[in-house]
Every structure is written in C-alpha cells, then in structure tokens.
Structure 1
Amino acid sequence: MSLVEKFNAAAEKARTFTKRPTDEELLQLYALYKQATVGDNNTPKPGMLDLKAKAKWEFWNKQKGKSQDDARKEYIEFVEKLSASYL
C-alpha cells in the first residue's frame, strides 16, 4: 500500500470516529490534512472576528515548510493514536 493510499485510509478512519476529538486535536488533524493535500498555507489570514477560521489558519500555518509526505506520515500516526480513544 502506497503512502497516499495509507493517508486516504487514515482520512476515512478519522471520519468514522464515534466520539468527537478535542478542538485542539481536530485543529491538528485539519492542519496536517491541509499540509498533506495542499502544501504550505498561502492564503490570507482571516479577520480577528472569525475565530474558527483564524484558529484553522494558524494551525495550518505552523506546518509551513513540512513536506507533503512528512505531513501524510504524521497524519497517519496521529489518526492511529486518536483511534484508540475515539473509535
């Protein structure tokens, strides 16, 4: 199974969690997913009043410089770690 296939399988697994991860865990999943699929964040920072978008943007921006393959590997590991608690 290739890295991309493992990544896609982990993304599907994350969607099947029966319990909701913490906000911070969700933001980390989002950031790693975006880094793995899009690459570095090059979007403008959202306004101060859009707290949800701002938090997502900041978490994704922290991943800047990480390769997409490294982000995929981290995402897979993080989903496996979370699945012990949320499946």
Structure 2
Amino acid sequence: MSDLNSRFLQAVADSKQLPERPDNMTLLRIYALYKQGSEGDVQGERPGFADFVGRAKFDAWSALQGTAPAEAQQLYIDLIESLK
C-alpha cells in the first residue's frame, strides 16, 4: 500500500472523529473528494429533480471530473487535517 493511500485511509478514519460537524458545503466537498479519490470520475446518470441530496452529491463529485485520484486523495487529506 502506498504512503498516500495509507494517509488517505487514515484521513477517512479521522473524518469520523472530527471535533464538530462541518457545514453542508464542506460535507459535500469531503464526499466529492472521497469519491474521486477512491473511484475516479463520476459514473451514471444525475439523480432526478426530487432527489435533492443525491443531486447535490452527484454535482459536487461531477465538478471534480478529470482530477487524478491521487490529487483528490491529497486534497481530501489536507481538508480533513484543516478541520481537526
């Protein structure tokens, strides 16, 4: 396992132990960076109009399209560190 990947996995664990719950925009950023870092570019269709949460998550992830997974992992690590 690479050093970046192990630090990413540690940041994922740390994200569950944050001192306070981040605001919704930060939560979307955390979600999008996690998905881009672990799965790559967004797949599938955008959720329907009535699925507000699913649509927001899809849009946040889609905004990172083309970002290398390693770069997304580092951005995720940096974001979680800033929230500690």
1:56 paired to 2:81: no
TM-score (norm 2): 0.95
The CA RMSD over aligned residues, in Å, is: 1.0
- Runs in 1 of length 4+ with deviation above 4 angstroms? none
- Deviation at 1:43? 1.5
Q: Which residue of 1 aligns with 2:74?
A: 73
- The sequence identity of aligned pairs, in percent, is 33
TM-score (norm 1): 0.92
What is the CA deviation profile of residues 18-63 of structure 1, one whole-angstrom value per residue up to 9, with x for unaligned ones?
A: 3210000000000000000000001210000100000000000000
Provide the rounded CA distance (Å) in 1 between the counterparts of 2:35 and 2:26: 14
Q: Which residue of 1 aligns with 2:19?
A: 18
Gaps of 5+ in 1: none
